[in-house]
Amino acid sequence: MTTADAAQWKSIPVLLNTYGPAEATVKTTVERILPGLNGDPSIGRGIGSNTWVTDRYDYQRLLPPGAIGELLIEGPLVFDSYLNNGTETNAALVEDPTWLLRGAPGAPGRRGRLYRTGDLVKYRADGSLDFMGRRDDQVKIRGQRIEL
């Protein structure tokens, strides 16, 4: 959603900008758009899932706020597999990345399965995510993937 989109719908009492690939559920992140928005809204924070930003070339490396990387989604709503397509499934799912197994100060390590979205994002200082584009040549129009 752009600032212009938000302005067009400003009369809506509660306006939400949501993001969610089919592989992880209908809505993975959400941002409430407040009146007087200055700049484009973010795609929000993860809901019902964990969001992680990793190096676009190495998902084993987490990135700090402000750095652009690939969005990985973890949680109970992440898909199991693409129907009859093990190759694509294996490319899209990450099992137990080293940083998740290792944990962090005050957070023990654990196992997990994450979906590599192919979408490039960055964390804002407030913890919300900015959508920056794609890591590949995939084309989407209003969120629908178009096969060229």
pLDDT of residue 100: 97
Q: Which residues contact 131 (CB under 8 A, 6 or more apart)?
A: 19, 42, 43, 119, 120, 121
What pTM, to 2 d.p., does this model score? 0.89
Query: Closest Cα to residue 95, out of 78, 112, 115?
Result: 112
The CATH number that applies at residue 57 is 2.30.38.10
Could you give the number of structural domains in the chain? 1
Q: Are 74 and 29 in contact (CB under 8 A)?
A: no
How would you write the pLDDT of the chain (148 residues) with one tens digit per residue? 888 888 888 888 889 999 998 898 778 999 999 877 778 899 999 998 999 999 999 999 999 999 999 999 999 989 999 999 999 999 999 999 999 999 999 999 999 999 999 999 999 999 999 999 988 887 777 667 777 7
Range of 84's domain? 3-146
